[in-house]
Amino acid sequence: MQQFSNLEISEIKSRIDQIQQLLGSRESEAPAERNVDRPAASPPELVDRVAFNIQMRRIRKSHFAGAQMSGANWDMMLDLMLARTHGRLLSASDLATGAEVPLSSGLRMIAALEQQGYVRRTLDEKDRRRSIVRLTDEGAARMMAYFDAVNNAWVDQQRRAA
């Protein structure tokens, strides 16, 4: 299995930051300069988007009851799900780097996720100083159930809007 390196994660994060800055600068353009193919959201559309995001947060809380699933913890779970999907391995330091937290904080977060039964740590066979973090079957099942629920909520939202 191929692993994400700290460098690869940093490069991806840098690209995402660049895209976010580019999108942010487009949002701040004057209306005359705005892309005519993408009209500004009307207040009702904006309310629907905000309401949908709140619904996603509630769905996440219900699928991960009792676990802190926001911020860096959620970023780690997303990284682990993506790694599992692509057959890659992530180390604890990879996860901390990807979540933009110090390694000590990242290790505490990983320990909490491990206590919840969502992740498992093992020693890297090639470098016994590193620990590899993987989603457990339970963690992967919860992530899949979450994404299924979000997808269903999105389909319902689109159906109501039509």
CATH number of the 2-161 domain: 1.10.10.10
Q: What percent of the chain has pLDDT above 70? A: 73
The confidence score (pLDDT) of residue 30 equals 52
The residue with greater pLDDT, 1 or 21, is 21
The confidence score (pLDDT) of residue 8 equals 58
Secondary structure (DSSP) of 35-99: -TTSPPPPHHHHHHHHHHHHHHHHHHHHHTTTS--SHHHHHHHHHHHHHHHHTEEEEHHHHHHHT
Domain spans in the chain, listed from the N-terminal domain onward = 2-161
| DSSP designation for 117 | T
Tens of pLDDT, residue by residue over 75-121, are 999 999 999 999 999 999 999 999 999 999 999 999 999 999 999 99
Tens of pLDDT, residue by residue over 37-52, are 555 556 767 787 888 8
| DSSP designation for 4 | -
105's enclosing H/E stretch is helix 103-115
Q: What percent of the chain has pLDDT above 90? A: 43
Cβ proximity of 90 and 83 under 8 Å: yes
Residue 1: pLDDT band (50, 70, 90) is very low
Label residue 71 left, alpha or beta by phi (over 0 means left) and psi (-120 to 50 means alpha). Answer: left
The confidence score (pLDDT) of residue 107 equals 94
Task: Using CA atoms of 60, 63, 64, 68 in order, give the dihedral in degrees to the nearest 10.
Answer: 10
The confidence score (pLDDT) of residue 4 equals 53
Whose CA is closest to 145, among 77, 90, 98? 77
The residue with greater pLDDT, 54 or 20, is 54
Rg (CA), the chain: 19
Calculate the average pLDDT of the chain: 81
The residue with greater pLDDT, 116 or 159, is 116
The residue with greater pLDDT, 55 or 26, is 55
The confidence score (pLDDT) of residue 25 equals 65
Rounded mean pLDDT, 28-43? 56
